[in-house]
Amino acid sequence: MRSLVHLRPRSLRTKHAFMQMALPGLILIILALALVMQGCGGSATTTTSGGATTSGGATTSAPSVSTTDTLPGVGDADLLQDLASPAQTVLDAINQSVVNVAVMGVSGTGANAQPYEGIGSGVVYTSDGYILTNNHVVSSNGVPVNSVQVTFNTGETVVATIVGRDTQHDLAAIKVAKTGLKPVVFAKSSSVKLGQWAIAIGSPLDFRNTVTLGIVSGIDRSIQTGDPTVPTISGLLQTDAAISPGNSGGGLFDASGNFIGMPELYLPPGSTGAVDIGFAIPADTVATVAKTLTGH
C-alpha cells in the first residue's frame, strides 16, 4: 500500500510537471498557427478559383478553364453576334429593295404564237418607282411582254410598265406608280475584290425573298449566252452564291449591303457538270445603263 500510495502521488506529480512544461509550448504553437491562418485569409478550407485548386484562400495565376461550350470570356450574345451570317444582316437591311417580277407575254407569231408566264426579280432604283431588272425577264426573242406585275416584300402587288430596254447589256427599267421606296446603294465595281462575300437575293422559281450566300469567285468574265442577238456578255462577276431561274434581275450584294451586281445567268449542273457557277452584271455597268434608260 505504501508503494501504491507512493506511486500514485508520484504519478500525479509527474503528469503535473509534464503539463507545466508542455502547456506553454502548446499555447505558442496554437498562437503561431492562428497568426499564419489569419495572414493567409483566415481560412484553411480548400477553394477553387478559375478552375485551379488553391489552399488557404489564396489564388494562383493558372488560366481559367470554362465548363461551357463558349469561348472563355465570351458571352452567349457576343458569340451569336460574331457567328451571325452576313446574309442575315444584309437581308434585314435591304430586303425591301428587292422585288418579285411576274410577266405575261406571247412567244412567236401568227399560228405559232403561244402565251407564256415568267418570273424574275428586280431592284429598286429610285424612291419614286423606277425598278431595274434584266431585259430577258421582260421580253422574249426581242419582243416585250404584255404585262408586268411587281410584288414587294410586304406582299403588295402593283402593275408596272416597261420604261426602256438595253439588249446589249441585257438590262431593262420598269416603273410602278408608288413612292417612298428604298433604292439599293451602288458599290463601285473597282471596290469589289476576289473572294469577298457575295449575297444573292431574288425569287428563284418564284420563291420570293430568297437569300443565298457565297463569294465573288471571279472578276471580268466573258460568257457565251446562246442568244444570237447578244452572243457574248463580257465584264461579268462570277459567284458561287446559288443562282437559279427567277434570280435574274435581282441583286448581288456585298457584306455591307451594297449592290455589286445583277444576277444574269448560271451554268446548269445537269448539262455542264458545273456546280455553283453564276454570273452577274457589275454595278458600274448597271448604273450607267440605268441612267440612260430612266434619265435619272
190 pLDDT more than 90: yes
Q: What is the pLDDT of residue 201?
A: 98
CA distance 123 to 113: 31
274 pLDDT more than 60: yes
Q: Is residue 121 annotated as a catalytic residue, yes or no?
A: no
25 pLDDT more than 70: no
Q: What is the pLDDT of residue 52?
A: 39
Tell me which of 35 and 273 has the higher pLDDT: 273
65 pLDDT more than 50: no
Q: What domains can you pick out in the chain, each with its CATH number?
A: 91-294 (2.40.10.120)
Among residues 139, 169, 248, 254, which one is catalytic? Answer: 248
Q: Is residue 147 annotated as a catalytic residue, yes or no?
A: no
Q: What is the pLDDT of residue 288?
A: 98
Per-residue pLDDT of 78-128, as tens digits, reads 555 567 789 999 999 999 999 999 999 998 888 888 999 999 999 999 999
CA distance 109 to 223: 29
pLDDT band at residue 224 under the 50/70/90 scheme? confident
Q: Is residue 296 annotated as a catalytic residue, yes or no?
A: no
Per-residue pLDDT of 243-253, as tens digits, reads 999 999 999 99
pLDDT band at residue 46 under the 50/70/90 scheme? very low
Q: What is the pLDDT of residue 150?
A: 98
Greatest mean pLDDT among 9-18, 53-62, 230-239, 241-250 lies in 241-250
286 pLDDT more than 90: yes
230 pLDDT more than 50: yes
Greatest mean pLDDT among 31-35, 44-48, 291-295 lies in 291-295
Tell me which of 194 and 229 has the higher pLDDT: 194
CA distance 100 to 122: 6
Contact criterion met (CB below 8 Å) for 240 and 199: no
Q: What is the pLDDT of residue 295?
A: 94
234: Cβ contacts below 8 Å, ≥ 6 apart: 220, 221, 222
- Of 41-50, 127-136, 162-171, 194-203, the one with minimum mean pLDDT is 41-50
Percent of the chain at pLDDT > 70 equals: 72
Q: Residue 136: exposed, middle, or buried by beta-carbon count in 10 A (0-12, 13-18, 19+)? A: buried
240 pLDDT more than 80: yes
Among residues 121, 136, 139, 166, which one is catalytic? Answer: 136
Among residues 170, 189, 244, 254, which one is catalytic? Answer: 170
| pTM for this entry | 0.72
pLDDT (mean) for 271-278:
92
Q: What is the pLDDT of residue 159?
A: 98
Q: Average model confidence (pLDDT) for the chain?
A: 81
Contact criterion met (CB below 8 Å) for 116 and 107: yes
Q: Look at residue 140 and give its three-state secondary structure.
A: strand
Phi, psi (degrees; rounded to nearest 5) at 228: -60, -25
- HSE, side-chain direction, 13 A CA sphere, residue 285: 21
